[in-house]
Every structure is written in C-alpha cells, then in structure tokens.
Amino acid sequence: MSLLVVGSIAYDTVETPYGNRNDSLGGSALYFSAAASFFTPVNVVGVVGSDFDASKISFLKKRGVNLDGMYVESGDTFRWGGRYHKDLNQRDTLFTYLNVFENFQPKIPAKYKKADYVFLANIDPELQLQVLEQIDKPKLVVLDTMNFWISGKRRTLEEVIKYCDILIVNDEETRELTDEPNLISAIRKLASVEGPKTLIIKKGEHGAILYHNEKYFFVPAFPLDKAVDPTGAGDSFAGGFLGYICRQDNIEANTLRKAVVYGSAVASYTVEDFSFDRLQALTNEELDERFKSFKDLTSF
Ligand code: AMP
C-alpha cells in the first residue's frame, strides 16, 4: 500500500508559555510524515527554498520517508510564526510568508500517481486541486485545511472538499465553514453538503470527534501535565490516523476508530516538546503503550 502527502515544509517561529523557538523545522507535510512513518513508508511532495538545510530531515529518511518529491527552488522556504496563549488551544498566527510556495505548482512524480492513500495537507486549495487532477483514483483522499484558507480562498476550498472522502478540521473551522455556532449542528450541516460524509473534528486538548455513518465517536486528548508546543499536533494526528489506515488497508468503521486513537496518541507525543524533538526520539513501543492507555481512559 502506498501513502502520499502533499503539504508545507517550513521554518516555524513559535512562542508558547514554556519558551520560544526561531526557524525550527515544521510544516504540515513533515509533521504528517513523521507521524505516519510509525506505520508505513510515506512519499512526500513539497517545496523548500535554497536556504533549507537538508541535514535537518535526515531523521525522516531513516524512518522510511521518501523525499524525492521535495523540490528545491531559488528563494526562501515557507515561514510561519505563531504565539500560543496560556490556554494552549488559543493561538495567534503572527505571520505567514509563503515565499517559494507563492509560485509552486506541485508536480506529482509518476511513481506516486497511483498512491492508494492521499493526504492533502494544509496548503493553498488551488494547489490541492492541482494534485487531485494529477493522481489516479486513490482508495481514500483525506483533506486538511485551516482558517487562513477558509477566509482567503473559500470557493476553491469548497471545490476541493467535493472530491475528498474524509475532511479533518478543528471545531472553530467547522463553525466557520458552516456559519453554525452549535458544533453538533455544524457537523451535520457539513456532512449534508456535497463532499465527504466522514468528518474528523479536532478539539485540541479536548480530543477529537469522528463522524462516520451518521454516528459519533469521541476520543479524549491524552491527559498530559506538560504540553510544551502544540504546533503540528493536527498534522501528526492526521499522520497517525492515515498511516494506521494505510497499514491496515481497509476503511471499515472499526479501523477508523482505532486510527483516531493512534492519531491522538502520536499527537500527544508531538506536543510534549518543541518542533520534532519528541517525535524524533519516540519509539513504536511508547506509541503502542499510549494507545493502550487510551483504552484504560475510556472503557467503563
Ligand atoms: P498544526 O499545528 O497541526 O495546525 O500545523 C502547524 C504547521 O502548519 C506549522 O508547522 C506551519 O508551518 C504549517 N502552516 C501554518 N500555516 C500554514 C499555511 N497557511 N499553509 C501551509 N502550512 C501552514
């Protein structure tokens, strides 16, 4: 089975109540693939600038992440800056410099076009459409986005949503997409428009909701006494989720539920430290241990 992700590769500048980091490794494609690599090999398509230090991603190559689709263009790598409040669920975007992403036209290498599972990570929806036009019909297309694109490119985003099988968004984005304040009504409304009938709503430190076959499945976030940097939690959730599905190679309801738990387990490690510091040190044993802890947390 093969898994393809198209998304951002970034340098992030992050401030949290626990400290700050300048120009640390980030980006939706990298967080996704680091998490998915615990389950399956991953093929990445993205772009970096001539300022990008490739040695920083050697740990991903060792974990089976294929970066042949990472294009190097002259100019600067995409940069994002964010500040988290004391309530880590609240984040302000301080800047978004698209840089080499501004003129990027994703070219999917021929060997990736037949991917079985595809993750369209959070990037410009116009680029997400271009990706869909180039790939053969995959088994599953999962889409992520963020408020930046909901307010900036809503029409194009709605077009992309029509072609996806699963949409992953957070609670605020769900309300924004539907203009509906009640989250449960917003979920129903989102599932009723043309597009995916399976939705995942991320609620930060309050966990995630899977809506599938008109049923809800709730998973808490793992109770951590120190969450240091939530950046990449959403993308690594998606990586654990889709990586597990790809390994199982089925999309039955029970697999989706376990996948949501694995997604939550990887994401809980991501936030324990800045950037990729915790994910780099993470082992499969630790991940399985946390998956089991979720059983204890929720069974009664
Ligand atoms: P998350 O915390 O999971 O929502 O993802 C944060 C990552 O998304 C950071 O590493 C950023 O580099 C990246 N990011 C933030 N804004 C954008 C954007 N507008 N387009 C693409 N990637 C972005």
87-95 average pLDDT score: 92
3 C-alpha to center of ligand 1: Å?
20
- Is residue 273 very low, low, confident or very high in pLDDT (cuts 50, 70, 90)? very high
What is the pLDDT at residue 89? 86
At a CB cut-off of 8 Å and minimum separation 6, what does 96 contact?
Answer: 79, 80, 81, 148
> Which residue from 146, 147, 156, 270 has its CB within 8 A of the most atoms of ligand 1, so it is best to mutate?
146
27 C-alpha to center of ligand 1: Å?
5
21 C-alpha to center of ligand 1: Å?
15
148 C-alpha to center of ligand 1: Å?
10
Q: Which atom of ligand 1 is nearest to the CA of 233?
A: 3
Closest CA to 223 of 258, 265, 180: 265
Kindly report the protein residue whose alpha carbon is nearest to atom 1 of ligand 1. 232
121-145 average pLDDT score: 95
At a CB cut-off of 8 Å and minimum separation 6, what does 261 contact?
Answer: 219, 291, 294
**Distance between CA atoms of 159 and 12, rounded to whole angstroms?**
29
Model confidence, pTM: 0.96
Kindly report the protein residue whose alpha carbon is nearest to atom 9 of ligand 1. 27
**pLDDT tens, residue by residue, 193-249:** 999 999 999 998 899 999 999 999 999 999 999 899 999 999 999 999 999 999 999
Closest CA to 199 of 221, 179, 173, 181: 173
207 C-alpha to center of ligand 1: Å?
19
Is residue 167 within 8 Å of 190, Cβ to Cβ? yes
Kindly report the protein residue whose alpha carbon is nearest to atom 14 of ligand 1. 27
Q: Which atom of ligand 1 is nearest to the CA of 31?
A: 10
**pLDDT tens, residue by residue, 143-186:** 999 988 999 999 999 999 999 999 999 999 999 999 999 999 99
Count up the domains in the chain and report the number.
1
45 C-alpha to center of ligand 1: Å?
15
Tokens matching residue 47:
């772009």
CATH number at residue 276: 3.40.1190.20
100-121 average pLDDT score: 95
Q: Measuring from each residue's beta carbon to the nearest atom of ligand 1, which residues come in under 6 Å?
A: 8, 10, 12, 26-28, 80, 96, 122-123, 148, 231-235
Residue-number span of the structural domain to which 289 is assigned: 3-298
Residue 80: is its pLDDT beyond 90?
Answer: yes
8 C-alpha to center of ligand 1: Å?
7
Residue 34: is its pLDDT beyond 90?
Answer: yes
Kindly report the protein residue whose alpha carbon is nearest to atom 20 of ligand 1. 123
254 C-alpha to center of ligand 1: Å?
29
DSSP symbols for 125-139: HHHHHHHHHHS---S
24-44 average pLDDT score: 98
Q: Is residue 136 classed exposed, middle or buried when 0-12, 13-18 and 19+ CB atoms within 10 A define those classes?
A: exposed
